[in-house]
């Protein structure tokens, strides 16, 4: 069984699965139960000057029959007395010395920062995470993403923290910026020991079309919240990947954003994350999801012959390149499994209306010289069963991949290599060779 | 309005109200969830399988988006009887039987009938159904429809929408035909069928109940006063076995028994411990299931050939068996035996005896040959059905069209399609202006 333990800026954890600073880590009771169920670490829900929350405060994006594909909250930081929080943190760390316990903090003035950091250190916590990411409520008060979105302010406030902290300081970044590298490099420059990203994305969850008030509805009003959940994973992966591949990012990364399974976690780790943080999935299904995260990641690493999760870290970061470095010679063509096709013709209509119009049914004529490996079999099955089996003209197919995404039948449409020996050539190669022109273009 | 006509409750007690809906209407949330399972196939096989050609993926998608009125409009355009069809169609051998999920074997086919009922029922309940469809201005043309069953209701409704003055003549006290008098209560109660009749009335159709053509109105008079006549009188009385003992208490024709069970106040099966149903068609299966659901302890179907030869649906037989109905094959009744006046049992040709207090004869219905033949230019085929152009229902008389059971139709949905095709043909014959959004042009 692969070793899942990690070390993050000096903080050790039995596995890379941490609960993110959020409602699941609001109390000692919750965090201790989570540790009992297998979570390797937790970032305590942000402490600061306690706030008042609204009712309601969560909104969600449901897509078809999938609940909570995206999730949105307008909840603020802790609403419990600081002393109660510190007492429970101290108790939790004492009972779970091997687990990573990090405390998220957010206050306003230098004095407040330095005082709350000192009180956190006194609990025995392993590290602190500066909440420079919250994009709702707190940012209106000059905190959260108001700090994370301004690199100079970020450096000043982080500097106050780093000046007094004797334990590792992570900075949690907001994705509500044009280029994530700007705040990330500022954080590294000022001396942060680690980066957590992404915090939530500024959002409105939807609009109640009866009340004509956005979600979540608070009386007759709503406000912008922070967006998270499975739908944000691609955005988070891009940002983690952007840091993971950049040699200037010399500190460990804790990946956050839509992680619900070991596969999600493995993807973040492969792009450079050392640990991952989870919130929405736990809010959807409870802490028990960590069992399969541990089991699945371990089995995956075993199947790849990796002895430790550390071997996976960053393994996909190098393959994340600029568009200009992609191989323009590489070509795939859609391959529809005649026997698996159920005849829904979703691929047909999607390709016809929005792509190359290369998917056909029945005895649609095949131009001379075109290849359609499955045409005869598709026609035969359609004749025998009446099912509208589709087939692909490989010489019309651009290899866009759309059909394989719309097909509801797993494994029915795959993309087959049709490169046929053409050598690697990228757009940047063409620029270098002076052949970066497309016939009929502006500069032809 | 006759007592108990559509829009008013029928008098109680009636036996059918003791039988619950086997497939209750979806709640809004469940309807959306089921709609979201639909793949939204292109050129969908379910549409091909629907005799009326309802654009099923489109109406289901509209349920999924919460556009219930739009959904009902799609259904009713192609099939004015879409409500009862949603409830009584044998979807297992029509739309749902053609659903691509069947070949996939991953999850059951979409509950198309229930979704169709859901969408239309909402608009019948709020009274908006009749406002959904495009109407032409009155054109002064007069059309008579004979019989007020599904075929006539469809023909009359479509032509009323085209601006014709349409009068329906129904010999019974209630319009609706077999939907009111014959549908199994676990599929639809009479009052629901009457709500559909009220919808057709609201399209501008005049319905004259208690008027028998041939008795109260002469065919010649009908032809003189109308520009077109649509005949859909249905079938005649239950076919008799013609064996000794058939006349007398305890032996009833199936459609007569079902009509009384559905509509007659005070009609009862109390005291019946053993009932036999003679026949192997869907009416026999309906009667057997109804008896079982009404609590008759022992219900036996006597069928003269083997199960494989039965014209009743296999899925209905399976349900009947689950409800405790026994099927006896190769059972040819020779005589009913009586004890005093009361029915004692039925003796078969092979000597077997089945004791019973109630025997229901479900071996078919007579043709209304006399009525059809009383119209000039209407010829009968060797089966006693009107000889028509199957595509339009046109007869040898330029002003007469025939549909429904009178031409050998067997389902509510095929009757509705007969009515629609006749409406198109009548509109064309009368030279009505073509309208791009004529509801009657939707579907097959």
Cα angle value B226/B232/B235 (rounded, 5°): 145
Instruction: Check residue B386 and give its pLDDT.
Output: 95
Contact B158, B195 (CB under 8 A): no
Contact B92, B114 (CB under 8 A): no
Task: Name the residue of chain B whose CA is nearest to A343's CA.
Answer: B100
Torsion-angle region of B199 (φ positive above 0: left; ψ -120 to 50: alpha; else: beta): alpha
User: A232 CA to chain B: closest CA distance, Å?
Assistant: 22
Contact of A409 with chain B, judged by CB distance below 8 Å, is answered with yes
- Cα separation of A131 and A148, whole Å? 8
Contact A170, A193 (CB under 8 A): yes
Local structure of A232: helix, strand or coil: helix
Contact of A348 with chain B, judged by CB distance below 8 Å, is answered with yes
User: B50 CA to chain A: closest CA distance, Å?
Assistant: 16
Contact of A207 with chain B, judged by CB distance below 8 Å, is answered with no
Of A349, A387, A409, the CB nearest to B42: A349
8 Å CB contact of A344 and B39? yes
Torsion-angle region of A431 (φ positive above 0: left; ψ -120 to 50: alpha; else: beta): alpha
Task: Write b or e for each residue in A220-256: b if 16 or more Cβ atoms lie within 10 A of its Cβ, otherwise e.
Answer: eebebbbbbbbbbbebbbebbbbbbbbeebebbbbbb
Contact A236, A175 (CB under 8 A): yes
Q: Mind listing the pLDDT tens digit for each residue in B228-260?
A: 999 999 999 999 999 999 999 999 999 999 999
Q: What ipTM was reported for this prediction?
A: 0.89
Query: Can you read off the two tokens belonging to residue A187?
Result: 């954080």
Please give the sequence-ordered ranges of beta strands (E in DSSP) within B149-205, or none if there are none.
165-170
Instruction: Check residue B7 and give its pLDDT.
Output: 60
Task: Name the residue of chain A whose CA is nearest to B65's CA.
Answer: A64
- Cα separation of A296 and B437, whole Å? 57
Considering the entire predicted model, what is its pTM? 0.93
Of A64, A388, A409, the CB nearest to B43: A388
- Cα separation of B5 and B191, whole Å? 9
The rounded percent of chain B whose pLDDT value lies above 70 is 98
Q: Which residues of A are catalytic?
A: 134
Pairs of residues, one from chain A and one from chain B, whose beta carbons lie less than 8 Å apart: 37
Chain A residues touching B39 at Cβ < 8 A: 344, 346, 408
Instruction: Check residue B2 and give its pLDDT.
Output: 41
Chain B residues touching A69 at Cβ < 8 A: none
Task: Name the residue of chain B whose CA is nearest to A345's CA.
Answer: B42
Chain B residues touching A351 at Cβ < 8 A: none
Please give the sequence-ordered ranges of beta strands (E in DSSP) within B65-200, or none if there are none.
142-146, 165-170
Chain A residues touching B45 at Cβ < 8 A: 343, 386-388
Query: Can you read off the two tokens belonging to residue B237?
Result: 């009385």
Instruction: Check residue B264 and give its pLDDT.
Output: 96
Of A348, A385, A408, the CB nearest to B39: A408
> B106 pLDDT exceeds 90?
no
User: A294 CA to chain B: closest CA distance, Å?
Assistant: 29
Grouped pLDDT means (10 residues each) for chain A, 444 residues: 97 98 98 98 97 96 96 97 98 98 97 98 98 92 93 97 98 97 98 98 97 97 97 98 98 98 98 98 98 98 98 98 97 97 97 98 97 98 95 98 97 97 98 93 81
Contact A249, A184 (CB under 8 A): yes
8 Å CB contact of A343 and B100? yes
Task: Give bridge partners of residue B9 from the DSSP assignment.
Answer: none
Of A65, A387, A408, the CB nearest to B36: A65
Strand order in the sheet with A58-63: A58-63, A66-73, A225-228, A201-203
8 Å CB contact of B104 and A348? no
Instruction: Kindly report which listed range (B3-12, B244-253, B390-399) carries the lowest average pLDDT score.
Output: B3-12
- Cα separation of A141 and A271, whole Å? 34
Alpha carbon distances (Å) from B159 to A10, B220, B308, B319, B439: 82, 22, 42, 39, 10
8 Å CB contact of A345 and B37? no
DSSP A378-417: HHHHHHHH----EEE-TTT-----HHHHH--STTTEEEEE
Instruction: Check residue B1 and give its pLDDT.
Output: 34
Q: Mind listing the pLDDT tens digit for each residue in B346-387?
A: 999 999 999 999 999 999 999 999 999 999 999 999 999 999
8 Å CB contact of B104 and A409? yes
- Cα separation of A391 and B369, whole Å? 53
Instruction: Check residue B3 and give its pLDDT.
Output: 40
Local structure of B291: helix, strand or coil: helix
Alpha carbon distances (Å) from B238 to A106, B64, B122: 84, 44, 36
Contact B322, B294 (CB under 8 A): no
Contact of B243 with chain A, judged by CB distance below 8 Å, is answered with no
Instruction: Give the side-chain half-sphere CA count within 13 A for B358.
Output: 24
Give the Cβ contact number of residue B340 at 10 Å.
5
Contact B67, B95 (CB under 8 A): no
Chain B residues touching A388 at Cβ < 8 A: 43, 45
H-helix segments, B38-111: 45-49, 56-64, 68-78, 82-88, 95-98, 100-104
Task: Name the residue of chain A whose CA is nearest to B107's CA.
Answer: A409
Contact of B11 with chain A, judged by CB distance below 8 Å, is answered with no
Cα angle value A186/A190/A191 (rounded, 5°): 120
Instruction: Check residue B4 and give its pLDDT.
Output: 46
| B contact test, residue of A206, A339, A344, A389 with most B CBs within 10 A | A344
Contact A55, A218 (CB under 8 A): yes
Chain A residues touching B65 at Cβ < 8 A: none
8 Å CB contact of A65 and B103? no
């Amino acid at each position: 069984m692969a070793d899942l333990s990690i070390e993050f800026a000096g903080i050790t954890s039995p596995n890379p699965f941490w609960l993110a600073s959020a409602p699941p880590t609001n109390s000692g009771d919750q965090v201790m139960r989570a540790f009992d169920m297998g979570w390797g670490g937790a970032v305590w829900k942000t402490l600061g000057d306690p706030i008042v929350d609204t009712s309601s405060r969560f909104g969600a994006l449901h897509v078809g029959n999938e609940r909570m594909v995206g999730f949105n909250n307008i909840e603020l930081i802790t609403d419990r007395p600081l002393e109660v929080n510190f007492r429970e943190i101290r108790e939790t760390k004492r009972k779970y010395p091997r687990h990573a316990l990090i405390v998220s903090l957010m206050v306003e003035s230098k004095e407040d920062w330095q005082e709350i950091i000192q009180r956190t250190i006194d609990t025995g916590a392993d590290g602190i995470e500066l909440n420079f990411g919250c994009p709702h409520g707190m940012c209106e008060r000059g905190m959260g993403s108001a700090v994370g979105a301004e690199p100079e302010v970020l450096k000043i406030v982080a500097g106050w923290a780093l000046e007094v902290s004797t334990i590792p300081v992570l900075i949690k970044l907001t994705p509500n910026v044009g280029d994530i590298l700007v705040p990330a490099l500022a954080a590294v420059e000022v001396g942060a020991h680690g980066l957590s990203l992404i915090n939530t994305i500024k959002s409105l969850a939807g609009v109640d079309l009866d009340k004509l008030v956005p979600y979540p509805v608070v009386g007759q009003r709503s406000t912008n919240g922070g967006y998270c959940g499975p739908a944000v994973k691609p955005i988070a992966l891009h940002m983690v990947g952007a840091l993971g591949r950049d040699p200037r990012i010399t500190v460990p990364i804790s990946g956050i954003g839509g992680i619900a399974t070991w596969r999600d976690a493995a993807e973040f780790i492969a792009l450079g994350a050392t640990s991952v943080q989870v919130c929405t999935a736990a809010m959807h299904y409870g802490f028990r999801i960590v069992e399969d995260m541990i089991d699945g990641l371990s089995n995956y690493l075993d199947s790849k012959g990796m002895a430790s999760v550390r071997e996976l870290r960053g393994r996909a970061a190098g393959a994340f390149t600029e568009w200009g470095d992609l191989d323009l010679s590489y070509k795939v063509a859609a391959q529809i499994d005649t026997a698996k096709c159920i005849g829904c013709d979703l691929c047909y209509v999607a390709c016809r209306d929005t792509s190359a119009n290369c998917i056909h049914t029945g005895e649609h004529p095949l131009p001379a010289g075109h290849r359609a490996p499955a045409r005869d079999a598709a026609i035969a099955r359609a004749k025998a069963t009446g099912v509208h089996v589709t087939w692909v003209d490989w010489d019309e197919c651009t290899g866009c991949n759309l059909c394989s995404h719309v097909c509801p039948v797993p494994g029915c449409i795959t993309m087959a290599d049709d490169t046929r020996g053409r050598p690697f050539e990228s757009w940047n190669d063409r620029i270098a060779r002076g052949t970066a022109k497309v016939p009929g273009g502006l500069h032809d | 309005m006759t007592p108990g006509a559509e829009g008013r409750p029928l008098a109680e007690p009636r036996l059918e109200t003791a039988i619950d809906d086997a497939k209750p209407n979806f709640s809004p949330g469940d309807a959306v969830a089921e709609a979201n399972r639909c793949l939204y196939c292109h050129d969908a096989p379910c549409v091909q399988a629907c005799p009326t050609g309802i654009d099923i993926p489109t109406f289901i998608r509209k349920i999924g988006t919460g556009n219930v009125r739009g959904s009902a409009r799609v259904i009713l355009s192609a099939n004015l009887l879409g409500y009862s069809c949603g409830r009584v169609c044998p979807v297992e051998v029509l739309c749902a039987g053609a659903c691509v999920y069947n070949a996939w074997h991953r999850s059951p086919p979409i509950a198309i009938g229930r979704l169709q009922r859901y969408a239309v029922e909402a608009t019948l309940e709020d009274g908006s159904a009749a406002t959904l469809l495009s109407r032409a201005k009155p054109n002064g043309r007069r059309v008579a429809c004979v019989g007020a069953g599904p075929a006539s209701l469809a023909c009359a409704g479509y032509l009323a929408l085209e601006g014709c003055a349409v009068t329906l003549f129904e010999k019974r006290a209630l319009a609706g035909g077999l939907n009111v008098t014959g549908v199994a209560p676990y599929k639809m109660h009479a009052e629901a069928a009457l709500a559909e009749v009220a919808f057709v009335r609201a399209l501008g159709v005049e319905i004259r109940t208690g008027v028998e053509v041939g008795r109260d109105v002469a065919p010649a008079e009908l032809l003189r006063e109308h520009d077109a006549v649509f005949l859909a009188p249905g079938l005649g009385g239950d076919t008799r076995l013609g064996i000794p003992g058939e006349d007398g208490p305890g032996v009833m024709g199936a459609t007569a028994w079902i009509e009384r069970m559905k509509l007659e106040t005070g009609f009862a099966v109390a005291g019946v411990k053993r009932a036999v149903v003679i026949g192997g068609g869907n009416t026999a299966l309906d009667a057997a299931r109804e008896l079982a659901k009404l609590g008759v302890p022992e219900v036996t179907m006597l069928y003269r050939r083997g199960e494989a030869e039965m014209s009743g649906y296999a899925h209905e037989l399976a349900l009947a068996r689950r409800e405790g109905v026994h099927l006896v094959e190769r059972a040819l009744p020779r005589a009913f035996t009586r004890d005093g006046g009361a029915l004692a049992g039925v003796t078969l040709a092979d000597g077997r005896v089945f004791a019973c207090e109630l025997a229901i004869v479900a071996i078919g219905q007579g043709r209304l040959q006399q009525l059809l033949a009383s119209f000039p230019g209407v010829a009968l085929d060797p089966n006693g059905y009107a000889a028509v152009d199957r595509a339009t229902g046109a007869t040898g008389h330029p002003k007469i069209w025939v549909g429904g059971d009178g031409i050998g139709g067997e389902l509510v949905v095929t009757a509705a399609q007969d009515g629609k095709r006749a409406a198109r043909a009548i509109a064309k014959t009368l030279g009505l202006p073509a309208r791009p959004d004529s509801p009657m042009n939707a579907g097959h």
